[in-house]
């Protein structure tokens, strides 16, 4: 994986695909990549939603899987700048935070979270969910560990290539704190070492 510098640009990703279920509650997300790139994500292709975008021809269309993750997310933010994988795919990584049990806020994990690391590919006019991994889960007793708490913004750190990030976590059965490094494989899969 090579990290390449990209010009600052604004991309609007309209979350549309043939046969997708509409999610009218989907908020508008702006992914601020570290080098200054902004990737704007909204559900509706209504041009008035994209007036803030200086270049409407940069609207990308997201696949159904990406829509499903963003529709459930309470929070989403970018982790890395845009980079090229070994096979030339333009991509960036993001983290989404979802409620563990939004339907039962009083039950087990009702106030807990499921945090996922997403690899989002950009190919022409399409934004796709290439791969994803579970980082933290109340339901599975997997917790991120850092001196600043378990929020992924504080617990997940960027690393130079060939890695993209590192984090510490605990999980059953022994709940030891383990350091993990994350990279993208040659087959565009997220790998945790």
Both structure tokens of 184: 């993208």
User: Mean pLDDT score of the chain, rounded to an integer?
Assistant: 75
Q: Is residue 36 part of a domain?
A: yes
- Which pLDDT does position 54 carry in this prediction? 36
pLDDT single digits (tens) 111-167? 789 999 999 988 876 778 999 999 999 988 999 999 888 899 999 998 888 899 999
**Is the torsion defined by CA of 41, 47, 49, 53 positive or negative?**
positive
How remote is the C-alpha of 53 from its chain's centroid?
21
Q: Is residue 168 part of a domain?
A: no
Q: Is residue 174 part of a domain?
A: no
DSSP for 160-172, written as a single string: -TTEEEEEEEE-T
pLDDT single digits (tens) 44-59? 444 333 333 333 444 5
Residue 61's pLDDT band, with cuts at 50, 70 and 90, is low
User: Could you tell me the residue range of the domain that residue 65 belongs to?
Assistant: 10-137
Q: Is residue 99 part of a domain?
A: yes
Q: Is the bond leading into 150 cis (omega within 30 degrees of zero)?
A: no
Counting the structural domains of the chain, the total is 1
Q: Is residue 20 part of a domain?
A: yes
Q: Is residue 43 part of a domain?
A: yes
Both structure tokens of 51: 């007036």
Phi-psi map region of 135: left, alpha, beta (phi>0 left; psi -120 to 50 alpha): alpha
Q: Is residue 25 part of a domain?
A: yes
Q: Is residue 144 part of a domain?
A: no
- Which pLDDT does position 105 carry in this prediction? 66
Find out whether 44 and 88 touch, Cβ atoms under 8 Å: no
Q: In whole angstroms, what is the distance from residue 106 CA to residue 152 CA?
A: 24
């Amino acid at each position: 994986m090579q990290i390449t510098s990209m010009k600052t640009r604004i991309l609007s990703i309209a979350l549309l695909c043939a046969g997708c279920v509409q999610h009218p509650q989907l908020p508008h997300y702006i992914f601020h990549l570290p080098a200054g790139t902004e990737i704007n994500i909204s559900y509706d292709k209504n041009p008035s939603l994209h007036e803030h975008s200086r270049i409407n021809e940069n609207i990308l269309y997201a696949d159904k899987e990406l829509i499903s993750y963003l529709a459930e997310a309470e929070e989403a933010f970018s982790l890395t700048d845009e980079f090229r994988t070994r096979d030339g795919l333009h991509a960036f990584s993001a983290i989404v935070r979802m409620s563990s049990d939004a339907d039962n806020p009083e039950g087990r994990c009702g106030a807990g979270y499921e945090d996922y690391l997403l690899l989002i590919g950009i190919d022409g006019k399409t934004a796709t969910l290439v791969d994803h991994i579970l980082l933290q889960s109340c339901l599975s007793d997997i917790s991120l560990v850092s001196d600043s708490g378990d929020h992924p913004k504080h617990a997940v750190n960027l690393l130079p290539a060939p890695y993209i990030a590192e984090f510490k976590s605990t999980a059953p059965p022994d709940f030891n704190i383990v350091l993990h490094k994350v990279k993208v494989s040659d087959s565009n899969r997220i790998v945790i070492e």
